A and B are shown apart, each in its own frame.
Chain A
């Protein structure tokens, strides 16, 4: 006889798995309406703590060599592969076994795909520019800093990775609000991140109500860019978030319709990495 040890789904902040500061949870049901687990109902202070962790980790993550970031991200894919069955089980609450399997495999593929771009995307998005004058003029991408990512409900794990991997590969750190309807696999992804040399604070995962957390996230002045992909179905929330982001001069990005075809391989692109970078142009004097 064995005892069924069930998992408490918690947050992933600063490399640890805390419960909400507020102590709140909400029920996660499967597609037939049966309770599967309780997830954390994140609060404003959880968001605050996550942003502090992301800010503290950002410089160190960006300072690592691009090659080293690629190695670490590849390692994440390895650990995800080892947890493949668990991801499938968690996605099965919402979709068929075959669909869950397809999604997990596509997720791991996508993670590896973006890992490889770490030391290559700058060749695509950067440039050397012809200018009239004795200057060598070139443009290089640099991470924007701390990014808030709001994940959608469809393809909860694949969409999460399709936005987070291109975000952190350039040296950003992020605070991710997982799918509100299907958060469980995202929390398990936190366990893969925690065991694969990704420094604590680089990815911080919150779960909870989008309508509650997104306005706080958009208004937080220490978040440099907010990805509102997960708000696509809620026009009023997008407007609120865009206004709040404008007040603190944060950039707002959304997945393009092409990017949002999550399962389609053509939705992945090095230009998605470009959504999360700033471009620096240098005028370097040279001989006449």
Chain B
């Protein structure tokens, strides 16, 4: 029983109330067996480890905050020139999730963004397409239609984005509907309510159930690092999201004040590296929110390259979620090509 996992965790934490909380949503889950759940995540971890992790019994080393920030600052201070800069900018485009997540998104706006995703610079066909577009579930079908045959993937946020606090069955249903509409990738949020209350089992189960609902689609788990309070929590949440089956871990929703930062990127890269060393499974990293300048994009590429190595510098394992970043990258690429500083007015409006 999935309930078995939770009961186990509940006992470990000495919290019976938690068990009761779980009873109803569990009844709606597509699977009801810890064996299935464990088999799913056992691609990387033995069921015992998963159970122990969910119960909070796995020790996650504490983060040296000062060291982390100093190293992140050192890595972002590097000077990248000429050919390396051009290569980094092109890679940033290839790894970009071009995003629009506004209440005002219209089909027309999504179509325009998809056209730009396929051919970012109408004047320069050598500029590569972005990796994916990221939209709300309601607009997935339109994006899918606009991107037919282009190779650009459709990502959809789902699961009561950005809070993640809708009823679990509704959240899972939202995921399935987004996939039915054509989404290749699903971005969900970590259940911070459960995570911050210490109910790791519940946060874990939500992600694992979402992974099952995703089927073949890629699951990205947004930790919303800016809301987790401490670096220790960000590392713990990273390990939890990876153990629960996330294909990517993602920094932020972009909906709060603190978004992707170099220390978060470094910390989450280290967590991914640790997870890879323990399990042999490569989990991807998506940085999102507040990434607006070309300079920031290559700073993050440096962090990932230095921590995870060049294997991660592909759209399969690294993404930059952004909306206004693309124009700045295009502007810098043209500056590199012409030697002249460009003006934003010469690039398409998002």
Residues of A within 8 A of B (CB): 48, 51, 216, 219-222, 244, 247-248
Contacts of B340 in A (CB 8 A): 219-221, 244, 247-248
Cα A221 to Cα B346 in complex, Å, equals 9
Query: Which 10 A-B pairs rank lowest in CB-CB distance, beginning with the nearest?
Result: A222-B343, A221-B343, A219-B340, A220-B341, A221-B342, A48-B341, A221-B341, A222-B341, A221-B340, A221-B346
Contacts of A244 in B (CB 8 A): 340
Q: Smallest Cβ distance from A277 to chain B, in angstroms?
A: 18
Cα A216 to Cα B340 in complex, Å, equals 7
21 A-B residue pairs with CB within 8 Å? A48-B341, A51-B341, A216-B341, A219-B339, A219-B340, A219-B341, A220-B340, A220-B341, A221-B340, A221-B341, A221-B342, A221-B343, A221-B346, A222-B341, A222-B342, A222-B343, A222-B344, A244-B340, A247-B340, A248-B340, A248-B343
Q: Give chain A's interface secondary structure class.
A: helix
Contacts of A220 in B (CB 8 A): 340-341
Contacts of A48 in B (CB 8 A): 341
Cα A248 to Cα B339 in complex, Å, equals 12
Cα A51 to Cα B343 in complex, Å, equals 10
Cα A220 to Cα B340 in complex, Å, equals 6
Query: Contact string, B317-346, partner A, CB cutoff 8 A, digits 1/0?
Result: 000000000000000000000011111101
Q: Smallest Cβ distance from A222 to chain B, in angstroms?
A: 4
Contacts of A221 in B (CB 8 A): 340-343, 346
Q: Give chain B's interface secondary structure class.
A: loop
Cα A219 to Cα B339 in complex, Å, equals 9
Q: Smallest Cβ distance from A251 to chain B, in angstroms?
A: 14
Contacts of B346 in A (CB 8 A): 221
Cα A106 to Cα B339 in complex, Å, equals 41
Cα A221 to Cα B337 in complex, Å, equals 14
| Residue ID in chain A nearest B344 by CB atoms | A222
Contacts of B342 in A (CB 8 A): 221-222
| Residue ID in chain B nearest A51 by CB atoms | B341
Cα A64 to Cα B44 in complex, Å, equals 61
Q: Smallest Cβ distance from B342 to chain A, in angstroms?
A: 5
Cα A222 to Cα B335 in complex, Å, equals 12
| Residue ID in chain B nearest A218 by CB atoms | B340
Q: Smallest Cβ distance from B336 to chain A, in angstroms?
A: 14
Cα A237 to Cα B344 in complex, Å, equals 27
Starting from the known contacts A51-B341, A221-B346, 5 additional A-B residue pairs (CB-CB under 8 Å) come to: A219-B339, A219-B340, A220-B340, A221-B343, A248-B340
Q: Smallest Cβ distance from B85 to chain A, in angstroms?
A: 14
Which residue, of A48, A220, A221, has the highest number of chain B Cβ atoms within 10 A? A221
Contacts of A248 in B (CB 8 A): 340, 343
Contacts of A222 in B (CB 8 A): 341-344
Q: Smallest Cβ distance from B316 to chain A, in angstroms?
A: 35
Contacts of A216 in B (CB 8 A): 341
Cα A244 to Cα B339 in complex, Å, equals 11
Cα A87 to Cα B344 in complex, Å, equals 39
Q: Smallest Cβ distance from B293 to chain A, in angstroms?
A: 11
Which residue, of B339, B340, B341, B346, has the highest number of chain A Cβ atoms within 10 A? B341
| Residue ID in chain B nearest A247 by CB atoms | B340
| Residue ID in chain A nearest B341 by CB atoms | A220
Chain B, 191-211, CB within 8 A of any chain A CB:
none
Q: Smallest Cβ distance from A63 to chain B, in angstroms?
A: 18
Q: Smallest Cβ distance from A242 to chain B, in angstroms?
A: 15
Q: Smallest Cβ distance from A136 to chain B, in angstroms?
A: 30
Q: Smallest Cβ distance from A41 to chain B, in angstroms?
A: 19
Cα A247 to Cα B334 in complex, Å, equals 14
Cα A220 to Cα B342 in complex, Å, equals 6
Cα A247 to Cα B342 in complex, Å, equals 11
Cα A132 to Cα B210 in complex, Å, equals 69
Q: Smallest Cβ distance from A59 to chain B, in angstroms?
A: 13
Cα A219 to Cα B346 in complex, Å, equals 14
Q: Smallest Cβ distance from A174 to chain B, in angstroms?
A: 16
| Residue ID in chain B nearest A44 by CB atoms | B341
Cα A235 to Cα B238 in complex, Å, equals 64
Cα A188 to Cα B18 in complex, Å, equals 69
Cα A244 to Cα B340 in complex, Å, equals 9
Cα A48 to Cα B342 in complex, Å, equals 10
Contacts of A51 in B (CB 8 A): 341
Contacts of B341 in A (CB 8 A): 48, 51, 216, 219-222
Cα A248 to Cα B343 in complex, Å, equals 9
Cα A127 to Cα B242 in complex, Å, equals 68
| Residue ID in chain A nearest B346 by CB atoms | A221
Cα A178 to Cα B343 in complex, Å, equals 24
Cα A220 to Cα B343 in complex, Å, equals 8
Cα A51 to Cα B346 in complex, Å, equals 16
Cα A11 to Cα B346 in complex, Å, equals 29
Contacts of A219 in B (CB 8 A): 339-341
Q: Smallest Cβ distance from B202 to chain A, in angstroms?
A: 46
Cα A267 to Cα B94 in complex, Å, equals 57
Contacts of A247 in B (CB 8 A): 340
Cα A51 to Cα B335 in complex, Å, equals 15
Cα A248 to Cα B346 in complex, Å, equals 10
Contacts of B339 in A (CB 8 A): 219
Q: Smallest Cβ distance from B80 to chain A, in angstroms?
A: 14
| Residue ID in chain A nearest B342 by CB atoms | A221
Cα A216 to Cα B339 in complex, Å, equals 9
Which residue, of A216, A247, A248, has the highest number of chain B Cβ atoms within 10 A? A248
Q: Smallest Cβ distance from A143 to chain B, in angstroms?
A: 15
Q: Smallest Cβ distance from B94 to chain A, in angstroms?
A: 26
